[in-house]
Structure 1
Amino acid sequence: MAQPLFKFTASSLLCVVAVALISWSFQVTESAIGVNWGAVSFHRLKPSTVVDLLKDNKIPKVKLFDADPDALRALMGSGIQVMVGIPNEMLATLSSSTVASDLWVLQNVSRYMVKGGADIRYIAVGNEPFLSSYSGQFQSYVMPALLNLQQSLARANLAGYVKLVVPCNADAYESSFPSQGTFRPELTQIITQLLQFLNSNGSPFVVNIYPFLSLYGSSDFPQDYAFFGGTSHAVTDGPNVYYNAFDGNFDTLIAALNKIGYGQMPIVIGEVGWPTDGVISANLTAARAFNQGLINHVLSNKGTPLRPGVPPMDIYLFSLLDEGAKSVLPGNFERHWGIFSFDGQAKYSLNLGLGNKLLNNAKNVEYLPSRWCVANPSRDLNDVANHMKLACGVADCTTLSYGGSCNGIGTKGNISYAFNSYYQLQMQSERSCDFDGLGLVTFLDPSIGECRFLVGVTDTSSSAFEPYQRWLTFWVLILWVVLVFIM
């Protein structure tokens, strides 16, 4: 009788079971669906309201673009995993001294990571610092800042738990076909250094992928290729066929990583989404189709041709809320990425795969009184141009642009929308609806179809001061470093 290949003792059986359990755990681990929480808004919800919104929708991960103390205090005890951010403008200071990095970690990480505190898992060191439009201005600061921050985390006994990452834009790599993906030549050296750092510290590579921007930026880009419902413009790349832009972009990155020896690097999608307003291709139907298709695709665990069965570790939808004070330099859509409107109301039905089949709206939102500012119907509006320019120069009028949800409401409707946007931004002060007698306060909602005339929310977080607060913190850090060296 032939001898068995393996002799099963009690201890060996335990080992086999352990290995099987470990293998099983890797197989059933699913990608997490998180969100980006930006705060560049005229009407900012209370952070506690936003955290309740995250919890009500069972969203397990959130990515911040800074280390806003109000947001971090609200996240304490929530169980939500957090990625905090460091603005690009702070990289130079953090790269220059471990005193500065120690102070930053103390103020923005350690103080919140107490018992029952915030669950900070990642620090995003910069935001797309290698973006080609920056012309390399932040590039030399990235690695020194990473090394200093890593030392600071180690001194704070957090290096094994909090991971440093650098969110990259997809323009960091390029190719005609996914399998030919390479990093931009001028980035090869620093990306290699970054990957060595990430790999040695157990951190993933974070990339932002936007098929919408590919569609918006090129009239030749096939619209159906941007989505996940099948396309008549599939891309054939050797034995692999790509049916959507996301997979093609993702595998271009995988090929680029392969070429410098890091093809197995874990990937996190730091930003991905579709806007709902401001231009012709941004609308509720398209946003729902893209986001739901993306979520279903990622959670199916199918992966991509170059990484079959291995989807991204996590994806962070861009974004949670609309941000009406963002720059429109990239396009009028920039203020309308949210799956929720500025006041936490769901824009469309979306199943995040987290237990809720529909999105739950924010609760206990504190609105201003239900009144609006509209064009006075009894006045001649021929001389309204300067008033419109004033209103839209301060408030958000991007929905009035071509392709926007309020584009077709007529001249008087446009004037009323502009007046009301300014009026709500000024917290409904009586004088802000004057416009030399051309404005009139009404208690009847002037919204028309999909064109919503907003009512502001009461803002206790003073978001208008936030940009100045960030710069103040930045210069305080510089002053601290200077004083330390002088002493």
Structure 2
Amino acid sequence: MKMASTRITSSVYIIVLLYVSAGVVVESGIGVNWGTLSAHRLSPETVVNLLKENKIGKVKLFDADPTSLRALMGSGIEVMVGIPNEMLALFSTSTSASDLWVSQNVSRYMGKGGANIKYVAVGNEPFLTSYSGQFQSYVVPAMINIQQSLAKANLAGTVKLVVPCNADAYVSNVPSQGAFRPELTQIMTQLVTFLNTNGSPFVVNIYPFLSLYQNTDFPQDYAFFEGSTHPLMDGPNVYYNAFDGNFDTLISALSKLGFPQMPIVIGEIGWPTDGAVSANITAAKAFNQGLVKNVLSNKGTPLRPGVGPMDVYLFSLLDEGAKSVLPGNFERHWGIFSFDGQAKYSLNLGNGLLRNAKEVEYLPSRWCVANPTRDLSTVANHFKLACSYADCTTLNYGGSCNGIGEKGNISYAFNSYYQLQKQNPRSCEFDGLGMVTFLDPSVGDCRFLVGVTDSNKSLGFCLNIGKRFILALIIFWSFCLFVM
């Protein structure tokens, strides 16, 4: 997700869940985004078991991580893999590069007993205004080449290409006047025509939280689904929540291009639980449960009554403590589960309340805290060092640990670093200012974490090295072909 922010389906498709004998969901209207920017990463096998336990039948990845795809093989879970924006320029000019990528990241994982890859996301929000158009010209040519590569692999009818777009791609004061940004009109016409020709949906990321976070005048109740005292009036249509208004704005924009019935998938939507005043468990539960109820009711919107989005991917499955906090401290707290696969709040996705991850391997129950017998007047540099590596976002204004006092802040920072270092005794020294304790220092809602062990660290390291080698090979190969 970046800062700023269907095939039309029947109610039977949205609501009914189909299971294979192992109990895995084959079809479901609600999926999740699985990001991996975490210093405390659960093994992919544990995450896949978590998905299966919660009957989550669709998952969206931000790359084609080999460890994740291997764990998903045989699960029956529908998968969307992603191509980073930085690779679009290469794929827009080199069919050999796109052939190799499809071979290494799609074909090799599919087939009998393989991963159920349904979508390839070509870039991630490549039209963001903050990118100043740097990826814009590469998207459609890259899609054409990747489509040809899928056809060569006999996968064009099985795997669909999509482009996750941020909601800032279209603008309007009211939904009925929705239109794509003027500079995107031509490329969006090409993109939507391509999607329509190949039977792919339009994927959009919608974030009412960001609208509330960025605009102090935004009506808070309009961000949720319980109705609003400040509804948006648009001719005969009345909008009581931001999601419906945003969705219909996109429909209007697509209609202006001649595609009023284009199927829509919500690629990302959610609410963070920490790191900002409006980011908390109560708000996240209210938003996500309201969203699920809205989608599963299949009530639709004023411009598409009785028809909801094709699929909705919640953002996100797990907290990612290594994400950039440039947009805000909340970026590391979007998960419906904490980093260790424990549900943050009761949430029903249509198949019962969330169930926690099983057999999570934790480090020993010990914490690093500030030594109460030492003078802490020289602790500033140690504090900064700890927080430069570890996640201290909960200590800031609006965070769940904001009120634990100076010594509490120091202890929290020390412990976060200590757990990041797998409880290496030396990582709690801080020139004698830290000490290890076996008493949980958590206070109220402020949780002092204990890290998880990464049983697949060596395997993941090797596979990621292999992945980098393949990428380097693609670039080298394409360069040689260009020179020739």
- TM-score, normalised to structure 1, is 0.93
Equivalent position of 2:437 in the other structure? 442
For residues 130-173 of structure 1, the C-alpha deviation after alignment (integer angstroms, 9 at most, x for no partner) is 00000000011101100000000000000001000000000000
Equivalent position of 1:83 in the other structure? 80
For residues 179-210 of structure 1, the C-alpha deviation after alignment (integer angstroms, 9 at most, x for no partner) is 01010000000000000000000000000000
1:310 is paired with a residue whose SS is: coil
For residues 45-80 of structure 1, the C-alpha deviation after alignment (integer angstroms, 9 at most, x for no partner) is 000000000000000000000000000000000010
Shift of 1:461: 4.3
1:28 partnered with 2:12 = yes
Structure 1: distance between partners of 2:463 and 2:330: 22
Equivalent position of 1:414 in the other structure? 409
Structure 1: distance between partners of 2:442 and 2:237: 49
**Match runs of 1:387-406 below 5 Å:** 387-406=382-401
Instruction: Indicate the structure (1 or 2) with the bigger Cα radius of gyration.
Output: 1
Shift of 1:26: 3.7
Structure 2: distance between partners of 1:418 and 1:466: 32
Structure 1: distance between partners of 2:461 and 2:423: 16
* The one of 434, 448, 452 aligned to 2:447: 452
Equivalent position of 1:252 in the other structure? 249
Shift of 1:485: 5.0
Structure 2: distance between partners of 1:486 and 1:141: 20
- The answer to whether the 8 Å contact 2:11/2:298 transfers is no
Structure 2: distance between partners of 1:403 and 1:467: 36
- The answer to whether the 8 Å contact 2:10/2:307 transfers is no
What root-mean-square deviation, in Å, do the aligned CA atoms of Structure 1 and Structure 2 show?
1.5
Q: Which amino acid aligns with 2:447?
A: R
Q: Which amino acid aligns with 1:361?
A: N
* The one of 262, 266, 270 aligned to 2:267: 270
* The one of 113, 124, 129 aligned to 1:127: 124
Structure 2: distance between partners of 1:473 and 1:293: 43
**Match runs of 1:168-179 below 5 Å:** 168-179=165-176
Structure 2: distance between partners of 1:390 and 1:432: 11
Q: Which amino acid aligns with 2:151?
A: A
* The one of 51, 57, 65 aligned to 2:54: 57
Structure 2: distance between partners of 1:144 and 1:220: 41
For residues 384-434 of structure 1, the C-alpha deviation after alignment (integer angstroms, 9 at most, x for no partner) is 110000000110000001010000111110000000000000111011000
- The answer to whether the 8 Å contact 1:42/1:464 transfers is no
1:381 is paired with a residue whose SS is: coil
Equivalent position of 2:17 in the other structure? none
Q: Which amino acid aligns with 1:307?
A: R
Structure 2: distance between partners of 1:469 and 1:207: 32
Q: 1:461 to 1:189 in 2, by over 3 A?
A: farther
Shift of 1:475: 2.6
Structure 2: distance between partners of 1:473 and 1:426: 30
* The one of 278, 285, 293 aligned to 1:288: 285
Equivalent position of 1:372 in the other structure? 367
Structure 1: distance between partners of 2:367 and 2:331: 25
- Give unmatched runs, 5+ long, in structure 2: 1-8, 15-27
For residues 203-251 of structure 1, the C-alpha deviation after alignment (integer angstroms, 9 at most, x for no partner) is 0000000000000000000000000011100011000000000000000
Equivalent position of 2:25 in the other structure? none
Q: 1:465 to 1:372 in 2, by over 3 A?
A: farther
Q: Which amino acid aligns with 2:202?
A: F
Equivalent position of 2:19 in the other structure? none
Shift of 1:437: 0.3
* The one of 334, 355, 376 aligned to 1:381: 376
Q: 1:427 to 1:465 in 2, by over 3 A?
A: farther
Q: Which amino acid aligns with 2:146?
A: L
Q: Which amino acid aligns with 1:149?
A: I
Structure 2: distance between partners of 1:26 and 1:249: 21
2:157 is paired with a residue whose SS is: coil
Q: Which amino acid aligns with 1:362?
A: A
Shift of 1:29: 2.2
- The answer to whether the 8 Å contact 2:66/2:464 transfers is no
Equivalent position of 2:356 in the other structure? 361
Structure 2: distance between partners of 1:68 and 1:92: 20
Structure 2: distance between partners of 1:188 and 1:484: 33
Equivalent position of 2:20 in the other structure? none
1:324 is paired with a residue whose SS is: coil
1:314 partnered with 2:311 = yes
Shift of 1:447: 0.5
Equivalent position of 1:40 in the other structure? 37
State the identity %.
77
2:40 is paired with a residue whose SS is: coil
For residues 341-389 of structure 1, the C-alpha deviation after alignment (integer angstroms, 9 at most, x for no partner) is 0000000000001x22x11000111111110000000001111110000
1:425 partnered with 2:420 = yes
Structure 2: distance between partners of 1:473 and 1:137: 24
- The answer to whether the 8 Å contact 1:90/1:474 transfers is no
Structure 2: distance between partners of 1:240 and 1:375: 58
1:158 partnered with 2:158 = no
- The answer to whether the 8 Å contact 1:398/1:404 transfers is yes
Shift of 1:28: 2.2
- The answer to whether the 8 Å contact 1:33/1:316 transfers is yes
**Segments ≥4 residues shifted beyond 4 Å:** 461-473, 484-487
Structure 2: distance between partners of 1:304 and 1:65: 29
Q: How many pairs does the alignment contain?
A: 461
**Match runs of 1:109-258 below 5 Å:** 109-258=106-255
Equivalent position of 1:261 in the other structure? 258
Shift of 1:476: 2.4
